[in-house]
Structure 1
């Protein structure tokens, strides 16, 4: 099987390339900017990107991982424009070129956030979409456009909606949390009683691998997770165990944290720590006979090992 992967240099892309090569797949790697040998640089991704060169290698399947996520120094208005350009228009432009080029199947990495956030009961793939914020909206619009392209062209589309993905190379909030735990800083999350689904990157890679050619996956949308939902304090305890550090948790009332979050303009960040977000992954497990090959603790240990190595390398350089 010949597989074209967009976003091959990202957290998921690097692991996916390794996993598929080990499975015997022939890979076509694409990245946005200057690249090493064996990768296509396609530049900025939007409705006008030319995918002709990588598609000229005639892939059977395309796995579209490349997306725009909000940058720390990025204004909200600028981010909203880029979400639509990259995540919606860029995805549909690629899909149309894939269909015209004879690609059999298009696997799209979306997000559980198209269904909403902060619900106590698990989300199901067939729940009504209630995307909150421009990122989730851009992914939902891409999903709808892909379904239309599939209907008109016959190209098979498979959509995966993961929750938070972690693993070696993780950035943003997950990495900040790991650094805080490693430093032994007390965290005010001991009183939280929520449930969160997460997904170890190598479990996602395995799910994508199954979706490349399983006949039952055609036209389906799946939620996928580690099948091991945890509360925020339990996640911190597991991360601390993986790092060989104590979990320092203070039982601060949740209403206090929400109040402080409002004062500081960090309400969305606080809500993600306090609220529940779980997914029902039973359909992919039953229909594709898939189960996550790695436990959450295995994933956290691998992430902690990567973190320690990066920390040691940084210390050596400085």
Structure 2
């Protein structure tokens, strides 16, 4: 089979298309013929060598993939050949609270990912693809989709009538917008260009703010609501945290996910977070149980992920470069096979 290997910490130059044997399926396992993958910012960090000491070489990168069951091992009864499936980001986190043991096997980082024509998964780590989604759309769910679900629904606890603020037009942010609307919430969405803002409105954003022309967008969001938003889906990290604190109401929550916006500003609003009894909630994907719940909700509501562009398998380096450019709106996908 063909697969991409990251052969060292040298960035895109270390990403090579190689041949490996098709893996053999064992008891309790499922062989999946992968049809599509999508990229996350974490995958970009992995290729650039920024994922830390857990990263081993050679490594098959990328965590999010979808495909078709090719063969099942002994003892597997919940799947059969030709079933369409997606793999969980954390193969050992079946449910309940996170722990070091549950989170140690993360695809495309600590263990091989999905940038290959075939992969063997533990049967318990697979979830059936919502039937209305294509394989490319389904491949957007395991990391970006579930992270947004955890931020908005599971940990954020958003209810009808509440207000959610999302940042930018990456995969997690657009999923968060869609899940917030699914919950009956009002959404304030930020972006850097008027063209992207127009698309956010089409997707369901109730209010939009251009953060280039309105750098104090947190203050603006607070003014628009009168008291602040209930939840900020914070993908920028410390570089945008000050404005997120400004935007959040007393007793509100900031779901802290990403590191996209660079270093923190010279002055910090952390004391304001204390004074307003806000909650800073770290979010790292979710469990297999959470993935199943999210997929059921997506199927019932007929929700579709936003796909920016799909690259051929041989164009994988171009897909990474496109994501690194920041020009995408939604998920960058790779068709496999």
Specify if TM > 0.5: no
Which range, TM-score by smaller chain?
under 0.3
Alignment TM-score, normalising by the size of structure 1: 0.25
Higher helix share: 1
Compare the two structures and name the one with the higher strand fraction: 2
